[in-house]
Homo-oligomer: A and B are copies of this chain.
Amino acid sequence: MKRTVFFISDRTGITAEMLGHSLTAQFEDEVDFTYHTIPFVDDEDKAFAAVTRINQAAHRDGNKPIVFETIVQPKIRSIVQSSQAVLMDFFHTYIDPLEAELGVHSSFRVGKSHSTDDLQAYDTRMNAVNFALNNDDGATTQHYDQADIILVGPSRCGKTPTSLYMAMQFGIFAANYPFTEEDMPNIKLRPGLARNVDKLYGLTIDPMRLHEIRNERRPNSRYSSLQQCMLEVREVESLYRKEGIPVINTTSRSVEELAVKIMSDTGIERRIY
């Protein structure tokens, strides 16, 4: 069975995509979905253009498209509602019960205001991303005193994307330090690390998966050999035990899961919403 799915928003549509996908994922074994995102539908012309695209898909498929939408403005939303689609409304569904519970009216404001708060959040986020970038390769450990957390582990186990995600999504100052062959055997913590040992969080990975990842980067090298991967994983895990460093296995976890698990485990609070 084929179905066309639209994500429609007066903003980026990212929220509609994320929630919509978690819903369609429940039916993917039996339904063949095709996805389209229509972002920034913030005036009537764009709403009518979206309706045209939806109706064309309905005609082509012989089946109603499914529309997941987060449109704030009632007028724009009512135009999209006139299309030949099954509409799943992620916004207005909750506004009425929230108004009733809180006893106040919704402001129906699209997106955030560009207030001082937002500029501060923007700056925090940029500073966090820059911190992650500038403290990514272990070349210098002198800024670790400012870090919220320092991810450690072998090369290619997921430190960099996790620290960048923490910075981008939550405004966390996350450094990361790779243990390399030169540190082994019997890894000693360099002064910048030893001084901040309570901020260290260890990443580990299934050696076979590490071997696959490294092999894509440098095929048939010593660096990517299974033997080397097994050695490095054994060495870092032994260090984590010895120093009492908390540890997470990255093998089959997404970057989002790693970031949230580490934050929830350490109690580090996000700096931005």
Contact = CB atoms under 8 A, between A and B. Distances in A.
A4 B57 CA distance: 43
Given A13-B260, A125-B255, A35 B273 contact: yes
Contacts of A261: 39-40
Interface stretch (A22-30, A179-187, A238-246): A22-30
A19 B21 contact: no
A86 B18 CA distance: 23
Interface stretch (A47-55, A74-82, A102-110, A189-197): A102-110
Interface of A is mostly: helix
Contact of A23 (B94, B168, B213): B94
Contact of A25 (B25, B29, B112): B112
A229 to B, nearest CB: 16
B168 A98 contact: no
Interface in A27-66: 27, 29-31, 35, 39-40, 64, 66
A94 to B, nearest CB: 5
A164 interface: yes
Query: Which of A1, A3, A257 has the most chain B CB atoms closer than 10 A to its own CB?
Result: A257
B90 A25 contact: no
Given A26-B106, A129-B160, A256-B12, A123 B273 contact: no
Contacts of A23: 91, 94-95, 98
A84 interface: no
Interface of A: 1, 3, 11-15, 17-19, 21-23, 25-27, 29-31, 35, 39-40, 64, 66, 70, 72, 86, 88, 90-91, 93-95, 97-98, 101-102, 104, 106-109, 112, 114, 122-123, 125-126, 129-130, 133, 136, 160-161, 164-165, 168-169, 213, 216, 252, 254-257, 259-261, 264, 273
